[in-house]
Amino acid sequence: MATVAPCPTNCANPDLLALPAANCFTDFRRTTPSRLFMFNCDIAIPTGSPSAVGAAVAALFEAGQVVSTMPLANLVFEDPTYEELQLDDCSPATSLLATRAMTFEDRYAIDISNQSPFVLNSYYDYDLWANKIANQKNIRYMLAYCNGDVKEISFVASIRGFIDYLKAQTAGGKSTETKKIRLLFNGDPIGFDVKPTFNYIDAGIVL
């Protein structure tokens, strides 16, 4: 005899979302993650309309409390990992989201100079990532897209990175230095419940 699993709707009857009506417009979404915005965990990102959130984040940029990476390359999200929780012997295990990793490359070199006295730092990009790795427990993130949309990521992440080289496409050419970074989030930073909250281009944030 087949075993009938308990039906939770006996206790609460959830509303199931239906497909839109036949006259609704459906489309596909093409978008590309481009940068990470970073801020300390004691900075509160406000909620509200996209224009209000964008204005607040623009002010935080001006104050140096939110910072951006350079445009990133080869940004990939790995499949999430799950913990299987067996609640009873008759039911299938419940999958609990555990972590999700994001990998990318930063191929830009940054030179800066102080004018008085004159000091040239030809490896400021090294300092940027060393700073983020050293302070990883305090950092929170936003994911910015090429079209300007921004998603706030509320999860903490561990960071690790190293320097590597891209071989030249032609014989005898010079290799290109790249910094390969991996973030491991405690949760899914681009889950179904994470939607864009503002557009940094519309907010006038110049990167």
Asked, for residue 73, whether it belongs to a domain, the answer is yes
Site of tokens 């921004």: 150
Phi, psi at 10, each rounded to 5°: -65, -25
- Quick one: pLDDT at residue 111? 93
- Quick one: pLDDT at residue 1? 47
Cα separation of 3 and 140, whole Å? 46
- Yes or no: say if 157 and 70 are a contact pair by the CB < 8 Å rule: no
- Quick one: pLDDT at residue 9? 61
- Yes or no: say if 103 and 76 are a contact pair by the CB < 8 Å rule: yes
Asked, for residue 6, whether it belongs to a domain, the answer is no
Asked, for residue 40, whether it belongs to a domain, the answer is yes
Asked, for residue 149, whether it belongs to a domain, the answer is yes
Angle at 85 between CA 103 and CA 10, to 5 degrees: 120
Residues found in the chain: 207
Asked, for residue 46, whether it belongs to a domain, the answer is yes
Site of tokens 């990883």: 136
Q: How far is CA 2 from the centre of its chain?
A: 45
Nearest alpha carbon to residue 181 among 124, 111, 138, 126: 126
Site of tokens 């079209």: 147
Asked, for residue 45, whether it belongs to a domain, the answer is yes
Residue ranges of the chain with per-residue pLDDT less than 70: 1-12, 115-116
Asked, for residue 144, whether it belongs to a domain, the answer is yes
Structure tokens at 159: 């960071």
Cα separation of 39 and 46, whole Å? 13
| Domain total of the chain | 1
- Yes or no: say if 72 and 33 are a contact pair by the CB < 8 Å rule: yes
Asked, for residue 71, whether it belongs to a domain, the answer is yes
The domain in which residue 54 lies consists of 31-199
- Quick one: pLDDT at residue 164? 97
Q: Which residues contact 94 (CB under 8 A, 6 or more apart)?
A: 84, 85, 86, 87
